[in-house]
């Protein structure tokens, strides 16, 4: 569970860094969709094999409800980890540590 939690946090963090970087002030707007799409594909190709990565916590609810048992008990991980990863990426950009305009 700890390794799944860490993977989910890091994967969402990287995905949000790509999104924030591709849509920032200094980034070329024409390439944002391509950068975000490629990051999404790569994260899914790796993540599906590791944890069944869903990126969207709402997408994890349906399968967990139908399967029940352990999947339902692990549902918290797929809700908490993306939020933690996204907030960490947001804070990184908000504090100015990573700014594409500079």
pTM > 0.85: yes or no: no
pLDDT-above-70 percentage for the chain: 93
- Quote the CA–CA distance of 6 and 21 in Å, as a whole number: 22
List the structure tokens of 49.
Answer: 């094999």
Question: What is the CATH number that goes with domain 2-94?
Answer: 1.20.1080.10
pLDDT of residue 98: 60
Could you tell me which of 31, 3, 5, 7 has the C-alpha nearest to residue 18? Answer: 31
pLDDT of residue 40: 92
pLDDT-derived band at 10 (thresholds 50, 70, 90) equals very high
- Quote the CA–CA distance of 88 and 17 in Å, as a whole number: 9
- Quote the CA–CA distance of 99 and 25 in Å, as a whole number: 9
> In this predicted model, what pLDDT tens digit does every residue of 26-76 receive, in sequence order?
888 888 999 999 999 999 899 888 887 777 777 788 888 888 888 788 888
């Amino acid at each position: 569970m700890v390794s799944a939690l860490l993977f989910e946090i890091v994967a969402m963090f990287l995905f949000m860094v790509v999104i924030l970087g591709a849509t920032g002030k200094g980034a070329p707007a024409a390439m944002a969709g391509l950068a975000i799409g490629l990051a999404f594909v790569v994260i899914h190709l790796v993540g599906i094999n590791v944890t069944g990565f869903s990126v969207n916590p709402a997408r994890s609810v349906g399968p967990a409800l139908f399967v029940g048992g352990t999947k339902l008990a692990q549902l918290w991980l797929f809700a908490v980890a993306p939020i933690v990863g996204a907030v960490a990426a947001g804070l990184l950009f908000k504090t100015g540590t990573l700014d594409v305009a500079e």
